[in-house]
């Protein structure tokens, strides 16, 4: 029978008095003192433990911090809060404190207090241990009670799960698990004897070699040749399968099956068991939801199924038992999906195309999200569907038109391109490349060239100046020469294409005629690129120098200032700024282009006694000194700070526009 907590509150403070000079209150190894009492509460004899902090008790505070109400089959603790109120806790006695050695730092106030506990609990050990033993038993009962409640709900949830299909084991053996031709080591020859692991019959095969594929003449199963000496004492194959079934009310269950084939001889020892279950349903708001369970291998009281995903030690490392990516059993899918939102989901055709393990739940979600997924699978674009379903579609949202019905309209290509793309089994990345070439002659040959050479970008802009045929021919010719002469710079065809794009971009900025074949198709791309790049940099530097000089001519001495042996000096050329940075070991040289563009002004602070010796460098923006740096970016000295303050007050602030 549980405690009556309302009546227990009347016994929260017994008013025990403890002698302040008692040595036990001042022992440094003791943090809490325990007093005990036995009371009749709600017609039941109850053991009460009053726990006092020893320091507070020594100061005369006789209010307990915790009051433990202990019965033979139940317990609870009343805890005093800082504001004087109380709250109930269900923690065991050993969990009341914060420190790991809480129990060791507790003791009874007197021998009678401990004897009272032992007599009530009918124990001859020490009082605290007797209390812990009783509470641990009660804790176990509580855990079992909670577990029974959870497991009854799980049993009710599993009531609608049908039996596994009868042909599952046969399907796993024939379609999923690999089979072997085991033989005594012998290379080549005619009619080498051995055992087919799929059917167990002795057969004879020719041209036998480790790892070679063949077929069993008896059961027609594909076999991998393996000499018995390579098998060792024990060899294991393992796979994960999944069975999708209808549990009614438009809900599906995905049952994860683990399969082990252990070879100690020529015929495997087979172990097949159900490992996890996933309930898939469509919620009222139209979104699909999933409810996961896993098998706990004999740890349950009523059932071994547990709710949630299987716990793993490290989620970043592979765990076979927690893996739910599996081969789907396809023979029952038409029946299982009937009368559900996934009635026309093409999961069977998708799996048949790749014949690889897949996350069925993810595919079912994607089917509801992408309206043309079924169409794309049926017409043979399974790689595009794989990208859509399994997370490789980021950045490709505009590749497909889900509002259209025809295949070429969905793919945003011409009708004559559909068969070509289907033959290549393109994914979204390749489709997006191809879509850029709509209207380009020889675009199919261009895509094949893309795939052959691993080129992914920079081509579309080049086709504004030439045909695809001329582009491919020129790139092939240049790559052959450039790769042989400079493999570090031209590691692949993409590097050559990128260099060609840069070459034409620079030529355009220089005003060259891009219709001139001499400009478009230089005999040596590397030499032509480096030449125009150097010319462009020269013109850029010349423009920067002209603009830089013009900026300082426009200042007309408006920042002039001299005081206390210091003065403001203007640079004459960009080289002066670069030399200043080299002399003072800071990075002012990179501000040259900003000055030319009018974003800031660079000035030099010099001593009047030696105007040519670099001292401090000043950056001015919006008539404010935003940076003043000396040798190795050092801060201002008091002398320099006083000068800058006076300069700002007398010169810079007078340059500000009127409000």
Mean pLDDT of 514-538: 91
Q: What size, in residues, is the chain? A: 659
Percent of the chain topping pLDDT 90: 69
Mean of pLDDT over the chain: 91
Predicted local distance difference test score (pLDDT) of residue 188: 54
Using one digit for the tens of pLDDT, what is the confidence trace for 162-201? Answer: 999 999 999 999 999 999 999 987 655 678 899 999 999 9
pLDDT classification of 656: cutoffs 50, 70, 90: low
pLDDT at 240 over 50: yes
Predicted local distance difference test score (pLDDT) of residue 528: 92
Percent of the chain topping pLDDT 70: 98
Angle among Cα 207, 210, 211 to the nearest 5 degrees reads: 100
pLDDT classification of 56: cutoffs 50, 70, 90: confident
pTM of the predicted protein model: 0.75
Number of other CB atoms surrounding residue 23 within 10 Å: 8
Predicted local distance difference test score (pLDDT) of residue 393: 66
Predicted local distance difference test score (pLDDT) of residue 483: 82
pLDDT at 658 over 70: no
Give residue 53's Cα distance to chain centre: 48
Predicted local distance difference test score (pLDDT) of residue 14: 87
pLDDT at 487 over 80: no
Taking the C-alpha atoms of 61, 63, 65 and 71 in order, what is their torsion angle to the nearest 10 degrees?
140
pLDDT at 48 over 80: yes
Q: Are 400 and 413 in contact (CB under 8 A)?
A: no
Whole-angstrom CA distances from 87 to 54, 76, 106, 275 are 21, 11, 22, 43
What the block records as the tokens of 601 is 């002004």
Predicted local distance difference test score (pLDDT) of residue 187: 56
pLDDT classification of 279: cutoffs 50, 70, 90: very high
Determine phi and psi for 634, rounding to 5 degrees.
Answer: -70, 155
pLDDT classification of 627: cutoffs 50, 70, 90: very high
Predicted local distance difference test score (pLDDT) of residue 659: 44
What the block records as the tokens of 473 is 């021919």
Rounded to whole angstroms, how far apart are CA atoms 9 and 177?
A: 67
pLDDT classification of 233: cutoffs 50, 70, 90: confident
pLDDT at 387 over 60: yes
Using one digit for the tens of pLDDT, what is the confidence trace for 594-613? Answer: 999 999 999 999 999 888 89
| Least confident range of 20-24, 193-197, 350-354, 619-623 | 20-24
Predicted local distance difference test score (pLDDT) of residue 283: 78
Using one digit for the tens of pLDDT, what is the confidence trace for 254-275? Answer: 999 999 999 999 999 999 999 9
Crossing angle for the helix pair 111-121 and 127-158, to the nearest 10 degrees: 40
The one-character DSSP state at 492 is S
Using one digit for the tens of pLDDT, what is the confidence trace for 76-104? Answer: 999 998 888 889 999 999 999 988 999 99
Predicted local distance difference test score (pLDDT) of residue 490: 87
């Amino acid at each position: 029978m549980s405690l009556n907590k309302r009546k227990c509150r009347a016994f929260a403070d017994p008013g025990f008095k403890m002698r302040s000079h008692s040595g036990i209150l001042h022992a440094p190894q003791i943090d809490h003192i325990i007093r005990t009492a036995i009371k009749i509460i709600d017609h039941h004899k109850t053991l009460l433990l009053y726990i006092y902090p020893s320091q507070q008790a020594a100061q005369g505070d006789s209010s307990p911090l915790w009051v433990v109400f202990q019965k033979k089959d139940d317990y609870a603790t009343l805890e005093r809060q800082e504001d004087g109120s109380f709250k109930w806790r269900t923690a065991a006695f050993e969990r009341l404190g914060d420190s790991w050695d809480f129990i060791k730092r507790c003791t009874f106030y007197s021998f009678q207090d401990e004897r009272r506990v032992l007599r009530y609990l009918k124990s001859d050990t020490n009082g605290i241990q007797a209390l812990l033993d009783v509470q641990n038993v009660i804790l176990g009962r509580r855990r079992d009670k909670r577990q029974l409640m959870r497991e009854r709900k799980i049993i009710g949830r599993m009531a609608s799960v049908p039996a596994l299909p009868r042909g599952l084991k046969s399907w796993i053996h024939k379609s999923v698990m690999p089979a072997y031709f085991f033989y005594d080591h012998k290379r080549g020859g005619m009619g080498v004897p051995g055992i087919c692991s799929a059917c167990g019959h002795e057969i004879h095969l020719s041209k036998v070699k480790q790892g070679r594929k063949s077929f069993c003449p008896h059961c027609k199963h594909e076999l991998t040749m393996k000499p018995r000496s390579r098998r060792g004492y024990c060899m294991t194959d393992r796979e994960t399968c999944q069975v999708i079934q209808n549990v009614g009310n438009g809900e599906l269950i995905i049952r994860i099956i683990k399969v082990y084939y252990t070879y100690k001889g020529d015929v495997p020892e087979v172990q097949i068991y159900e490992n996890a279950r996933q309930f898939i349903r469509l919620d009222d708001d139209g979104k699909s939801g999933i409810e996961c369970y896993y098998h706990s291998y004999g740890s349950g009281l009523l059932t071994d199924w547990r709710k949630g995903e299987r716990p793993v030690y490290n989620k970043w490392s592979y765990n076979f038992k927690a893996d739910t990516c599996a081969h789907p059993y396809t023979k029952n899918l038409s029946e299982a999906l009937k009368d559900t939102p996934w009635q026309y989901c093409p999961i069977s055709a998708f799996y048949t195309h790749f014949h690889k393990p897949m996350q069925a739940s993810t595919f079912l979600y994607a089917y509801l999200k992408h309206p043309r997924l079924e169409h794309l699978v049926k017409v043979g674009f399974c790689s595009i569907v794989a990208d859509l379903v399994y997370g490789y579609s980021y950045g490709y949202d505009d590749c497909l038109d889900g509002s259209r019905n025809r295949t070429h309209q969905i793919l945003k290509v011409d009708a004559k391109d559909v068969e070509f793309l289907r033959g290549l089994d393109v994914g979204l990345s390749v489709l997006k490349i191809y879509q850029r070439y709509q209207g380009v002659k020889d675009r199919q040959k261009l895509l094949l060239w893309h795939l052959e050479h691993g080129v992914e970008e920079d081509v579309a802009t080049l086709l504004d100046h030439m045909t695809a045929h001329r582009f491919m021919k020129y790139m092939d010719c240049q790559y052959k020469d450039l790769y042989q002469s400079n493999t570090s710079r031209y590691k692949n065809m993409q590097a050559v294409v990128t260099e060609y794009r840069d070459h034409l971009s620079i030529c355009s900025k220089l005003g060259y005629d891009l219709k001139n074949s001499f400009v478009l198709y230089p005999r040596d791309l590397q030499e032509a690129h480096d030449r125009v790049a150097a010319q462009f940099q020269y013109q850029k530097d010349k423009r920067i120098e002209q603009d830089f000089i013009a900026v300082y001519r426009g200042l007309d001495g408006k920042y002039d200032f001299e005081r206390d042996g210091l003065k403001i000096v203007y640079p004459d050329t960009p080289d002066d700024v670069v030399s200043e940075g080299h002399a003072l070991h800071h990075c002012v040289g990179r501000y040259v282009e900003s000055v030319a563009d009018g974003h800031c002004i660079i000035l030099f602070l010099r001593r009047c006694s030696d105007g040519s010796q670099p001292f401090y460098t000043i950056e001015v923006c919006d008539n404010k000194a935003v940076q003043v740096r000396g040798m190795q970016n050092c801060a201002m000295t008091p002398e320099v700070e006083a000068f800058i303050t006076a300069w700002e007050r007398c010169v810079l602030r007078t340059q500000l526009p009127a409000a």
